[in-house]
Amino acid sequence: MQTPNAARQAAVNIGDKERMLSALAGSLLLYATAKKNTINTLLLLGGGYLLYRAVTGHCAVRAALPDRWTAHGADVKVRAQVVVNKPRDEVYAFWRHLENLPLFMKHLENIDELDAKTSAWKMRIPGGAGDIRWEATIVKEEKGSELSWHSVPGAAIDNTGKINFSDTPGHGTRIDAMIAYRTLPGAIGERMGQLLTPAFQSRVEQDIHNFKHYMENAGVAGV
């Protein structure tokens, strides 16, 4: 029979470094929420989860993952659908210029298009822990209908994106988006494991929905 102390030890599935980073990131999220005039539920939940993770040393997400993920990396896969009241050609053209993505995807800091297919990506790590950079290439392009990309072999993180565009009644555009991140084995992958949390997944999903507001309210002048 397992003793209470053994049960508590078995529940600890993250290291001291991860716990410290979780405590820092959680505190920063809650501090940012406290400074706002309105309550941000996602920030509160994310901050609370990270502090729980730091205090208990237990990551419920990691515990629920198959052994192959805990041993070799973690992943986040987001699927979202949004309808934008803009013509499909205009919406597709904006997405195709990948350098526009950080305008509404706040988890991304910068994207530079190196040529017609290849781009350099930069993503900030919450809590001031630095950034992660990689290159991606367009793997499928059907003008006005689909845009897909994937990180190149040897990249620091495995990143995939697939965006489908279709017409809606009233001359709008429906976007079906899938964006995924997966860490890879090694020191960088271990560092990135601190990022791929439920709070980060919610952030990416919110970023996709932010596209509607950006296109309909900010416009695309100068793109």
Tell whether the model's pLDDT for residue 106 goes beyond 50. yes
Q: Is the pLDDT of residue 137 over 60?
A: yes
What is the predicted pLDDT for the residue at 6? 42
Domain boundary at 9, 30, 64, which?
64
119: pLDDT confidence band, cut at 50, 70 and 90?
Answer: very high
Same domain, 8 and 85: no
Instruction: Tell me, yes or no, whether 38 lies in a domain.
Output: yes
Give me the domain span that covers residue 77.
72-218
Does residue 153 fall inside a structural domain?
yes
| Judgement on whether residues 191 and 86 belong to the same structural domain of the protein | yes
Kindly report which listed range (79-83, 102-106, 126-130) carries the lowest average pLDDT score.
Answer: 126-130
Q: Residue 110: pLDDT above 50?
A: yes
Same domain, yes or no, for 93 and 43? no
Domain assignment present for residue 97? The answer is yes
Residues 115 and 24 reside in one and the same domain: no
Whether 42 maps to a domain, the answer reads yes
Same domain, 146 and 39: no
Q: Does the pLDDT of residue 166 top 70, yes or no? A: yes
Q: What number is the average pLDDT over the span 186-197? A: 61
Q: Are residues 176 and 203 in the same domain?
A: yes
202 in the same domain as 93:
yes
Same domain? For 116 and 174 the reply is yes
In this structure, the answer to whether residues 10 and 99 fall within a common structural domain is no
- Asked if 174 and 80 touch (Cβ cutoff 8 Å), the reply is no
Claim to verify: residue 49 and residue 109 sit in the same structural domain: no
Q: Which residue has the higher pLDDT, 189 or 158?
A: 158
Q: How far is CA 71 from CA 14, 30, 74, 87, 162, in A?
A: 12, 30, 9, 45, 27
Domain boundary among 21, 37, 64: 64
pLDDT, the chain, mean = 77
pLDDT tens for residues 46-60? Answer: 667 777 777 787 666
Instruction: For residues 112-116, give the mean pLDDT.
Output: 95
CATH number of the structural domain spanning residue 214: 3.30.530.20
Q: pTM here?
A: 0.62
In this predicted structure, the answer to whether residue 141 has a pLDDT above a threshold of 90 is yes
User: Does some domain include residue 223?
Assistant: no
Mean pLDDT of 175-199: 74
* Lowest-confidence pick of 43-47, 71-75, 115-119: 71-75
Residue 104 has pLDDT above 80, yes or no: yes
Residue 170 lies inside a defined structural domain of this protein: yes
The answer to the question of residue 25 being in a domain is yes
Amino acid, res. 7: A
Whether 139 is in a domain gets the answer: yes
Beta bridge partners of residue 175, listed in sequence order: 82, 165
Residues 55, 77 within the same domain: no
Confidence (pLDDT) at 222: 38
pLDDT, average across residues 29-38: 65
198-202 long-range contacts, CB within 8 A, separation 24+: 198/45, 198/46, 198/49, 198/61, 199/29, 199/42, 199/43, 199/45, 199/46, 199/47, 199/49, 199/50, 200/76, 200/107, 200/126, 201/76, 201/78, 202/42, 202/45, 202/46
Residue 44 and residue 85 in one domain? no
Structural domain count of the chain:
2
Q: Which of these three, 18, 42, 64, is where a domain ends?
A: 64
State mean pLDDT over 206-214. 91
